[in-house]
Amino acid sequence: MDLVINKMGLNGMINIPSDKSISHRSIMFGAIAQGKTTIKNFLRGDDCLSTLKAFQELGVNIEDDGETITVHGTGFSGLTQAKQAIDVGNSGTTIRLIMGILAGTSFTTELFGDHSIAKRPMNRVMLPINQMGADCSGHDGTEFPPLTVTGTTDLKPITYQMPVASAQVKSAILFAALQAQGESIIVEKEKTRDHTEDMIRQFGGEIDVLGKEIRIKGPQSLVGQKVIVPGDISSAAFFLTAGLIVPNSQITLNNVGLNPTRTGIIDVIQQMGGNLTIHETGSETNKAGTLVVETSNLKGIEISGEIIPRLIDELPIIALLATQAEGTTIIRDAEELKVKETNRIDAVATELNKMGADIEPTDDGLIIQGKTPLHGAKVTSYGDHRIGMMLQIAALLVKNGTVELEKAEAISVSYPRFFDDLNKLYQ
């Protein structure tokens, strides 16, 4: 499709889609809790619907009236064997986290996804889960999906030093640890998003976190809750960037989740000199706020170390932001980008360079020279929703030529109304 190209500023207010990570987990926790869980502001994107359908196939009664989702929890022990292999679509969160839940079942489950999922490494989850007594294996003895998970009702606790900074891996282990006989200890490589830890507490569970060390005793029984999902800062990131780099712009974003483990992009914007105002509106357990962003003069910075897990999903759009900053921006310690929906290091460099950017990919990140004008080109999302949205925001800067995006449909995975929201800002 041909992308919208901006000829004037972007101005207006947007209600950001609900948080993808919390939407996934709200279904999962509702399913494994006892009693009823109600969920408002659930993200009805393809990925989160894959999670919803997966638990329906595992015997959980889930109702959706279009406004509220009601999950009639079965507890861990009430899950039943799916009648067929479960299709997770494009959702890495679904397949990785559900492995931890299935580890404690008394049956075997097969999991598969699309061509992108088939290329994503699963050893990082399979190894600790198997150490706990489950039997997880990949296609033809590899670490890649399709996967077979044979659970056990006698899961052993684990002490596990995380080799990678991954909230998905951590969450899978936590779901298994909730079912294990004894105390598990997880030591993170770097602090990652802590929605799972927060929701364990919200659903009546017990978990202790001290720095990078997490302790959790099992088995535990959870209780259904009311969940209101805040807006997703990963989705907000695209309009935050647009407001900063498109001339004559001011954009207000409502109900954006501000969990400190997710707000690395706000730190980056502030370090780069961006004009960003935050009005906090949420509670202690449901941190959220209204963000107002305006066109700004930006400067290049280095992004590395412990901040990386706090903005790993936002790095593609941060790379675009850096192309419009004065000087050099260096992104390091971001090897995890290689195993997302696509190799996002290569995808960002290849596609933005087609448009006139000056980006050098490295083994663990990117070196970005700014400030560079962008021009029209034929680009592709590679089937990756975040690459697709990043390229649309890049197209807003183009003055000469057109931008044609292949595989634009991938954007519906996390932000089905993305193009509609963008068009609102022209009016």
Could you read off the pLDDT of 381-419 as tens digits, one per residue?
999 999 999 999 999 999 888 999 999 999 988 898 999
Sequence ranges of the binding site: 20-21, 25, 92, 120, 166, 168, 313, 340, 344, 386
Q: What is the pLDDT of residue 426?
A: 82
Q: What is the mean pLDDT of residues 61-73?
A: 97
Distance of CA 426 to the CA centre of its chain: 28
Whether 11-18+230-424 and 20-228 share one fold: the answer is yes
Q: What is the pLDDT of residue 413?
A: 82
Instruction: Using alpha carbons only, give the angle 178, 183, 186 rounded to the nearest 5 degrees.
Output: 80
Residue with tokens 């730190």: 267
Distance of CA 254 to the CA centre of its chain: 19
**Euclidean distance between CA atoms 350 and 317, whole angstroms:** 14
Q: What is the pLDDT of residue 2?
A: 82
Sequence ranges of the binding site for 3-phosphoshikimate: 20-21, 25, 166, 168, 313, 340
- Two tokens at 195? 């929605």
Q: What is the pLDDT of residue 393?
A: 97
Mean pLDDT, the chain, whole residue set:
94
Question: How many Cβ atoms from other residues are within 10 Å of residue 247's Cβ?
Answer: 11
- For the beta sheet containing 61-64, the strands, ordered from the edge strand earlier in sequence to the opposite edge, are 61-64, 68-74, 34-40, 226-228
- Collapsing DSSP states into helix, strand and coil, what is residue 283? coil
pLDDT over 80 at 421, yes or no? yes
Answer whether 0.85 is exceeded by the pTM: no
Q: What is the pLDDT of residue 283?
A: 63
Phi, psi of 417 (to 5 degrees): -105, 25
- Span 246-263, pLDDT tens digits: 999 999 999 899 989 889
Please list the active-site residues. Answer: 313
Q: What is the pLDDT of residue 1?
A: 83
Contact assessment for residue 176 and residue 100, using Cβ atoms and an 8 Å cutoff: yes
Residue with tokens 């989702």: 69
pLDDT over 70 at 244, yes or no? yes
Least confident of 44-48, 273-277, 296-300: 44-48
- Helix, strand, coil in percent for the chain, rounding step 5: 35, 25, 40
Q: What is the pLDDT of residue 186?
A: 98
Sequence ranges of the binding site for phosphoenolpyruvate: 20, 92, 120, 168, 344, 386
Q: What is the pLDDT of residue 78?
A: 97
pLDDT over 70 at 285, yes or no? no
Residue with tokens 């000469």: 400
pLDDT over 90 at 339, yes or no? no
Q: Which of 71, 74, 28, 78 is nearest to 48 (CA)?
A: 28
Altogether, the residues listed in the chain come to a count of 427
Q: What is the pLDDT of residue 284?
A: 61
Domain locations in the chain as residue ranges: 11-18+230-424, 20-228
**Euclidean distance between CA atoms 272 and 247, whole angstroms:** 17
- Name the architecture of domain 20-228: Alpha-beta prism (3.65)
Given this structure, which CATH class describes domain 11-18+230-424?
alpha beta
Contact assessment for residue 366 and residue 345, using Cβ atoms and an 8 Å cutoff: yes
Phi, psi of 193 (to 5 degrees): -50, 140
